[in-house]
């Protein structure tokens, strides 16, 4: 049994103008806390946290989606003692509602389409970044991604794509929240510079593998650019980073039916 994560201490709460007893939230990486209507979590990478906070603060309100607006410290900083804060947003994740997840991601991506590529993406050092680079045939350090027999057929099925890249949310499935009477909320944004259809493919792949969504979802989104290749790359990305998801063993059995189906689908596209 692992020890519970440490909550933000009184000094951190005071820096953000908060008081009260932090309560641990479920989901995420297990270290997210709520105090009143504010959510605090460990900041992962100063440049990315500061960049994301500034972008989301400046993002206009939309009738089509909500975001977790960043909250600065009383001194106007986005990080204090390794913690960042956002406003609490109502709702629950439901990756089985994958069509709604993809649609929410689409309107969010349209809203951020003009943003330039941030330089921190060149220096990010984590398993998800390495898995993403492997999927897109970019250089990764030796041993930085997990070995799996499922990667070979996926890599063999890759074909060049010409869809333009932009900033996208790389983990929509569990980070789109639904609440009655409100537009979907998009939270915990891990930024990637990829075609928007790839972000949709990651959500669809996750729903197929882990949430038993009908395979018909593949054909429903087949109008997206290079859809078969986006699914191929989404699966490589996820399979290559399985140790980061804290699985005790490679989840090949869970992925195999979806890999077989997607490889066959890609072959049918010529």
On whether both 168 and 239 belong to a single domain, the answer is yes
Structure tokens at 226: 């290079």
Q: How many domains does the chain have?
A: 2
On whether both 125 and 257 belong to a single domain, the answer is yes
- Boundary-marking domain end, from 23, 54, 89: 89
On whether both 77 and 126 belong to a single domain, the answer is no
On whether both 147 and 49 belong to a single domain, the answer is no
**The domain containing residue 82 runs over which residues?**
10-89
Question: At 269, phi and psi to the nearest 5?
Answer: -85, -10
What is the pTM assigned to this prediction?
Answer: 0.95
Question: At 181, phi and psi to the nearest 5?
Answer: 80, 5
Residue 148 placed within a domain:
yes
On whether both 129 and 263 belong to a single domain, the answer is yes
* Partners of 85 in the β-ladder: 40, 71
Residue 2 placed within a domain:
no
Return the closest-CA partner of residue 137 out of 206, 237, 228: 237
Residue-level pLDDT at 2? 58
Could you tell me the CATH number of the domain that includes residue 240? 3.90.1200
Could you tell me the CATH number of the domain that includes residue 60? 3.30.200
How distant is the alpha carbon of residue 242 from its chain centre? 14
- Whole-angstrom distance, CA of residue 203 vs CA of residue 15: 36
pLDDT tens for each residue of the chain, 270 residues long:
456 789 999 999 999 999 999 999 987 667 899 999 999 999 988 999 999 999 999 999 999 999 999 999 999 999 999 999 999 999 999 999 999 999 999 999 999 999 999 999 999 999 999 999 999 999 999 999 988 999 999 999 999 999 999 999 999 999 999 999 999 999 999 999 999 999 999 999 999 999 999 999 999 999 999 999 999 999 999 999 988 877 777 788 999 999 999 999 999 997
Structure tokens at 45: 């990478």
Residue-level pLDDT at 26? 82
Three-state secondary-structure class, residue 224: coil
On whether both 34 and 49 belong to a single domain, the answer is yes
* Partners of 168 in the β-ladder: 192
């Amino acid at each position: 049994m692992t020890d519970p994560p440490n909550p933000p201490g009184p000094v951190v709460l005071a820096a953000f103008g908060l008081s009260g007893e932090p309560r641990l939230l479920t989901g995420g990486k297990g270290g997210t806390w709520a105090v009143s209507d504010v959510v605090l979590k460990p900041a992962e990478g100063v440049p990315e946290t500061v960049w994301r906070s500034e972008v989301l603060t400046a993002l206009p309100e939309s009738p089509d989606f909500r975001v977790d607006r960043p909250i600065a410290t009383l001194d106007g900083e986005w990080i204090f003692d390794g913690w960042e804060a956002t406003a609490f947003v109502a709702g629950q994740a439901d990756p089985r509602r994958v069509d709604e997840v993809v649609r929410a991601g689409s309107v969010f991506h349209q809203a951020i389409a003009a943003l330039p590529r941030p330089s921190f993406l060149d220096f990010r050092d984590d398993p998800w970044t390495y898995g993403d680079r492997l999927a897109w045939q970019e250089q990764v350090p030796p041993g930085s991604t997990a070995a799996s027999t499922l990667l070979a057929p996926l890599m063999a099925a890759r074909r060049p794509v010409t869809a333009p890249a932009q900033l996208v949310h790389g983990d929509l499935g569990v980070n789109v929240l639904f609440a009655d009477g409100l537009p979907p909320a998009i939270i915990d944004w891990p930024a990637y510079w990829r075609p928007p259809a790839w972000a949709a493919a990651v959500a669809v792949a996750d729903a197929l593998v882990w949430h038993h969504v009908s395979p018909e979802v593949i054909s429903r989104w087949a109008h997206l650019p290079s859809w078969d290749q986006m699914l191929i790359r989404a699966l490589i990305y996820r399979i290559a980073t399985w140790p980061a998801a804290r699985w005790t063993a490679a989840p090949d059995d869970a992925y195999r039916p979806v890999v077989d189906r997607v490889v066959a689908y890609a072959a049918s596209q010529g």
